[in-house]
Amino acid sequence: MQIAIALFDRFTALDAVGPYEVLGRVPGAETVFVAERPGPVRNDSGTLALVADATFAEVTRPDVVVVPGGPGQTPQMANETLLSWLRAVDATTTWTASVCTGSLLLAAAGLLKGRRATSHWLALNAIKRYDVEPTGERVVFDGKYVTAAGVSSGIDMALALAGRIAGDRAAQSIQLLTEYDPQPPYDAGSPHKAPADLVAEHRAHSRHPQP
Amino acid sequence: MQIAIALFDRFTALDAVGPYEVLGRVPGAETVFVAERPGPVRNDSGTLALVADATFAEVTRPDVVVVPGGPGQTPQMANETLLSWLRAVDATTTWTASVCTGSLLLAAAGLLKGRRATSHWLALNAIKRYDVEPTGERVVFDGKYVTAAGVSSGIDMALALAGRIAGDRAAQSIQLLTEYDPQPPYDAGSPHKAPADLVAEHRAHSRHPQP
């Protein structure tokens, strides 16, 4: 089972590596980081580079595709090379997944039309223009499309997906080995829980249109 | 404030990228991935490569050092280049941190002597031989030494550390932007919660001596 994780300039690292760490442990999984060109791809801050081991042209029939988000998503909305690759591989995937603003890329490729999906909380409003019903949920399954909310939510998404692919026991085994027993020291991980002025501050500075 | 994240062959990706994603967002932070040689460093499965942008020789006075774990930790226990770098930078760090079996490397460098620390649950027993008091806690602060349990726990560790470095509001802001509001679909993330036979199976196959 081939799992392709797409990379593009200024992606958010944890969007890609969270699901990678979980899905790569599914029995029989063969993961590959894929991008327009092979070699290092820099993240949003420029201080991390993940190597793309294959090009889009080389990965034509992955069973699962995962699209991360990040500030680099905005220019990718007009990158026909990425969007047509997404449409092409989606024709034969078992699961097409995204994390964070990666769902805006799936939407721009026309893959989420009429479906329920989620995204980073700051981008939930933006996804409406693609005929997508945004939900505030952390992980959304709609048919073979699986979307996750912001950044860290890709871990929850990947565990749920691992369960669908390989069964509950395999997913629990992955959770145990990655010791995923979260104990955040604060309770500010969603706009409903964080201090209201922090939420307002981030909305004011977002690159996405806010409600 | 420079935050150095050490890489070595067959590290576990999320051990490094979880803390990176959080600590890299601390105001004023400058993160750098550092290794014996510059360039791509492959993870435990060989399917992911993170680029080391600096060598140990080039990073001599980081304010914070983070050491990940992974299967590659075992051969590193005898790598005097890494261990002496850890001792050297520790002399001036504000915080010396580890994730997963990275604490065994800090212990082998002699930095945790007489201290309380944690590690991946499968390695908790192994750390005792270094005159370290193992705890079952997810994140342990002892003086300037901060150790986290397995793989995903580095995110909790980094958020707690972000709070100590930059204050609660800055840490909450990072939690909100990374949407860290975990909702695991299973409750098997620790040996106390996972099915007993799964725990026993992993203990039987561990490279670390079990109790």
Q: Give residue A8's pLDDT.
A: 98
- Of the candidates B159, B178, B186, the beta carbon closest to that of A171 is on B186
Cα distances (angstroms) measured from residue B103 to each of A32, A65, B73, B139? 29, 34, 10, 12
Amino acid, res. A8:
F
Mean pLDDT, all residues of chain B: 97
What's the whole-number mean pLDDT along residues B53-80?
98
Nearby residues of A56 by Cβ (< 8 Å), 6 or more positions away = A6, A34, A35, A36, A81, A82, A85
Q: Are B104 and B123 in contact (CB under 8 A)?
A: yes
CA neighbor of B18 nearest in space, from A17, A49, A6: A17
Amino acid, res. A182:
P
Instruction: Enumerate the residues of chain B whose CB falls inside 8 A of the CB of residue A33.
Output: 47-48
A71-85 pLDDT per residue, tens:
999 999 999 999 999
pLDDT at position B133 over 90: yes
- Enumerate helices (H) and strands (E) in chain A, giving the number of each: 7, 11
Looking at CA atoms only, how far is residue A79 from chain B in angstroms? 25
Instruction: Enumerate the residues of chain A whose CB falls inside 8 A of the CB of residue B179.
Output: 100, 120-121, 138, 149-153, 189-190
Is the domain spanning B2-183 CATH 3.40.50.880? The answer is yes
d(CA B84, CA A77): 47
The residue length of chain A stands at 211
Phi-psi region of B70 (alpha: psi -120 to 50; beta: other; left: phi over 0): left
Looking at CA atoms only, how far is residue A13 from chain B in angstroms? 7
Nearby residues of B144 by Cβ (< 8 Å), 6 or more positions away = B93, B94, B95, B96
d(CA A55, CA A78): 19
Q: Give residue A115's pLDDT.
A: 98
- Local structure of A167: helix, strand or coil: coil
CA neighbor of B126 nearest in space, from B145, B154, B151, B106: B106
In total, the C-beta contacts within 8 angstroms joining chain A to chain B are 222
Provide the pLDDT confidence category of residue B136 given band limits of 50, 70 and 90.
confident
Looking at CA atoms only, how far is residue A96 from chain B in angstroms? 19
Q: Give residue A189's pLDDT.
A: 98
Interface test with A, best of B25, B180, B206 (most A CBs within 10 A): B180
Provide the pLDDT confidence category of residue B107 given band limits of 50, 70 and 90.
very high
B202 contacts A190? CB cut-off 8 A: no
Catalytic residues of A: 100
Q: Give residue A136's pLDDT.
A: 85
Instruction: State how far Cα B171 lies from the chain centre.
Output: 19
Which residue ranges in chain A fall short of pLDDT 50? none
B179 contacts A190? CB cut-off 8 A: yes
A10-31 pLDDT per residue, tens:
999 999 999 999 999 999 999 9
Q: Which two tokens stand for residue A76?
A: 């990718």
The H-or-E segment that residue B106 falls in is: helix B102-108
A156 contacts B171? CB cut-off 8 A: no
- Of the candidates A14, A184, A185, the beta carbon closest to that of B21 is on A14
d(CA A22, CA A174): 7
Interface pTM, i.e. ipTM: 0.97
Determine the straight-line distance between the first and last CA of chain B, rounded to whole angstroms: 40
Label residue B46 exposed, middle or buried (CB < 10 Å: 0-12, 13-18, 19+).
exposed
Instruction: Enumerate the residues of chain B whose CB falls inside 8 A of the CB of residue A176.
Output: 188-191, 194, 198-199, 202
d(CA B117, CA B110): 13
B24-40 pLDDT per residue, tens:
999 999 999 999 999 99
- Local structure of B81: helix, strand or coil: helix
Q: What's this model's pTM, rounded to 2 decimal places?
A: 0.98
Q: Which long-range contacts (CB under 8 A, 24 or more apart) does B44-48 make?
A: B44/B10, B44/B11, B44/B12, B44/B13, B44/B70, B44/B71, B44/B72, B45/A24, B45/A31, B46/B10, B47/A24, B47/A30, B47/A31, B47/A32, B47/A33, B47/A53, B48/A17, B48/A20, B48/A24, B48/A31, B48/A33, B48/A50, B48/A51, B48/B13
Q: Which two tokens stand for residue A70?
A: 């990040």
CA neighbor of A160 nearest in space, from A62, A18, A33, A61: A18
d(CA B205, CA A108): 45
Pick the CATH number of A2-185 from 3.30.530.20, 3.40.50.300, 3.40.50.150, 3.40.50.880: 3.40.50.880
B188 contacts A176? CB cut-off 8 A: yes
Which residue out of B35, B41, B100, B174 is catalytically annotated? B100
**Tokens 């039309």, located at residue:** A113
Looking at CA atoms only, how far is residue A87 from chain B in angstroms? 25
Give me the percent of chain A exceeding a pLDDT of 70: 100
Instruction: Enumerate the residues of chain A whose CB falls inside 8 A of the CB of residue B194.
Output: 172, 175-176
Label residue B92 exposed, middle or buried (CB < 10 Å: 0-12, 13-18, 19+).
exposed
A179 contacts B153? CB cut-off 8 A: yes
Closest chain A residue to the Cα of B121, Cα to Cα: A179
B189 contacts A175? CB cut-off 8 A: yes
DSSP string, A101-158: THHHHHHHTT-STT-EE---GGGTTGGGGGT-EE---SEEEETTEEEE-STTHHHHHH
